Amino acid sequence: MDFAKRMNLLGTENAFEVLSEVRKLEARGQHIISFAIGEPDFDTPEHIKRASIQALHENQTHYAPSAGLAELREAIAEHVSAMRGIPASPDEVVVTSGAKPIIYYAIHALVNPGDEVIYPNPGFPIYESVVRFVGGIPVPATLLESRDFRFDMDRFSRLVTSKTKLIILNSPQNPTGGMLTATDLAAIAQLAVEHDIWVLADEIYSRIVYEGNFTSIASFPGMKERTVILDGFSKTYAMTGWRLGYGVMPTELAQLVARLVTNSDSCTNTFVQFGGIAALRGPQDAVTAMVREFRTRRDGIVETLNRIPGISCKTPSGAFYVFPNVTDACRSLGLKTGKEFQRLLLEEAGVAVLPRTAFGTPGDDEEGEYVRLSYATSRDNIEEGLARIRRIVIG
Ligand code: PLP
C-alpha cells in the first residue's frame, strides 16, 4: 500500500503499547497493578457533569465557533490572568479537544522545515513526534536527576542557534514530576527574548504542585507576546475522557490556530464546553482535595521506593509521577536497561511501569536507568505494587 511519505516521520506515545500489554495479561486472568496511566483516578466533580448534562437538555448540540464558546474563552482568560498574573483576553484563547492538539497546532503554525526546536528530554513524546512531522529539527535538552530534573542552564544555552524557532517547556513535568525554578525560567526567558524564539509552555500540571509556587514563563518581561500557554481540564478536574483543553497565545497566532481547528475538528464539542465553564467558575474544593491526596501518596511512594535496595527516588514537586533511578537494581538483577527492568516487573511481578525510553532517547549527558510510576492509583494499589517490586528486587 502506498501511503504519504510524511507518515514515516510521525512518532507515537509508547505508553499505549504498555497499556495494551497490560490488557492482554489481564485478559489471561493475571492481576496487574498499573502505575502506567497518566490520568487522575478520581471522578469528574458532579457540578461539572451536571452543567454539561443541562447543556445537552437545553439542546446545546450544535456547532460552536472554532476558537471556542465566547463564555468559556472569557472564563479561561480570567482564570489564566488571575493564576499567572498576566493580562489575557478571550481573543487570545483557543479551546481544543483536550490540551494535546495545542502541541500539534502550535508546532504547525510556528515551525518551518529546517527550524530547530528545543524540548525537554525525558519528556512527553508528542513534542518530538510533531516537530519531526513538520520537518523541524528536534533538539533535546536533558533534564538531569542531579539537578532535581532541571536543565543545566549552561548546556541549555549552548543548544540555542540562529535556527532555533521554538523552545518547549513542561513544568511541572511529565515524566519526572520535576519543576523548573523561577531562576531557570528567567534565564530561558532571557534567551528567548534575545534570540527571538517562541516558547510553548506546557502547563497542563500547573494546578498539581506540592512545593513552591507555580510560575509561568509568560509572566516574565517580553514573554507574553512570544509564549503559547497550554493548559486544560484533563488533569486538574479529572476530565481526561471529556477532551477539553486550551491554548493562550498572541491574537494573530490564535487566529491561525483557530483556522487549523476549522480544518480538522471544526470545533470542540459544544456541551462539553459548558462543563468547562462550570469547572473554572464553580467550587475548587475537589481540586484541593485531589491534590492533597496526591501529596500523601507521593510522600508514601517516595519513602517506600527509597527503602528498596538499588532504587533511589527524588521527591517530585508536582504532577503525579515519580521517576526513580533503578540503575543499581538493574545491575543486581543482571539487567542492562530500565526497559528490561520494566518487562521483568510486568511479566514476573504483574506491575506495570513505563520505561525511560517511552519519553525519548537518553542523551549523552544522561547517566543511569529510570522508570516512571504514576501514583494516580489507589493507596492500596500503591502499597501492593511496591511490595511486589520489592520482592522482585531483593529476590
Ligand atoms: N502535556 C503533557 C505533558 C501531558 O502529560 C499530557 C497528557 O498526558 C498532555 C499534554 C495532554 O493532555 P490532554 O489529555 O488534555 O490532551
Determine what percent of the chain is predicted with pLDDT higher than 90: 94
**Centroid of chain to Cα 249:** 18
**Mean pLDDT across 239-246:** 98
The b/e string for 325-355 (b: 16+ C-beta within 10 A; e otherwise) is bbbebbeeeebebbbebbebbbeebbbbbbb
pLDDT at position 13 is: 85
The model's confidence at residue 336, banded by pLDDT at 50, 70 and 90, is very high
Distance from residue 124's CA to the centre of ligand 1 (Å): 8
How large a percentage of the chain has pLDDT more than 70?
100
Nearest ligand 1 atom to the CA of 170 is: 3
Distance CA 225, CA 247 (A): 13
Q: Is a pLDDT exceeding 90 seen at residue 276?
A: yes
Residue 395: per-residue pLDDT: 81
Distance CA 280, CA 286 (A): 12
Average pLDDT over residues 361-382: 94
Q: Closest ligand 1 atom to the C-alpha of 234?
A: 15
Bridge-based pairing of strands 351-352 and 93-96 is unpaired
Taking residue 227's Cβ as centre, other Cβ atoms within 10 Å add up to 26
Mean pLDDT, the chain, whole residue set: 96
Q: CA–CA separation, 277 vs 236, rounded Å?
A: 14
Is the separation of the CB atoms in 178 and 317 below 8 Å?
A: yes
**Which H helix or E strand runs over 127?**
helix 126-133
Structural domains present in the chain: 5-43+286-394 (3.90.1150.10), 63-281 (3.40.640.10)
Task: Report pLDDT for 115.
Answer: 98
Has residue 20 got a pLDDT over 90? no
DSSP-assigned states of every residue in 165-186? EEEEEESS-TTT-----HHHHH
Q: Say whether pLDDT at 237 is over 90.
A: yes
Task: Give CA torsion, residues 219, 224, 226, 231, to 10 deg.
Answer: 80
Distance (Å) of CA 59 to CA 53, 63, 64, 194, 270: 10, 11, 12, 50, 10
pLDDT at 364: 86
Whether 149 shows a pLDDT value over 90: the answer reads yes
Rounding to the nearest 10 degrees, give the CA dihedral for residues 268, 269, 270, 276: -80
Strand, coil or helix: what is 204? Answer: coil
At which residue does the C-alpha cell 543548544 appear?
159
Q: Which of 241, 252, 208, 261 lies closest to 95, judged by CA?
A: 261
Instruction: Using pLDDT thresholds of 50, 70 and 90, give the confidence band for residue 19.
Output: confident
pLDDT tens, residue by residue, 44-85:
999 999 999 999 999 999 999 999 999 999 999 999 999 999
User: What's the mean pLDDT in 100-124?
Assistant: 98
Q: Residue 173 CA: which ligand 1 atom is closest?
A: 3
Spacing, Cα 211 to ligand 1 middle (Å)? 21
H or E element in which residue 119 lies: strand 116-121
How far is residue 192's CA from residue 230's CA, in Å, rounded to a whole number?
Answer: 18
Q: Is residue 366 within 8 Å of 144, Cβ to Cβ?
A: yes
pLDDT tops 90 at residue 211: no
Mutate which of 176, 235, 273 for ligand 1 pocket (most atoms within 8 A of beta carbon)? 235
Q: Please give all residues whose beta carbon lies within 6 A of any atom in ligand 1, as ranges.
A: 38, 98-100, 124, 170, 174, 202, 204, 232, 234, 240, 245
Q: How confident is the model at residue 311 (pLDDT cuts 50, 70, 90)?
A: very high
Q: Average pLDDT for residues 165-175, to the nearest whole number?
A: 98
Q: What is the band of 365 on the pLDDT scale with cuts at 50, 70, 90?
A: confident
Predicted local distance difference test score (pLDDT) of residue 16 = 79
Specify the higher pLDDT residue, 395 or 99: 99
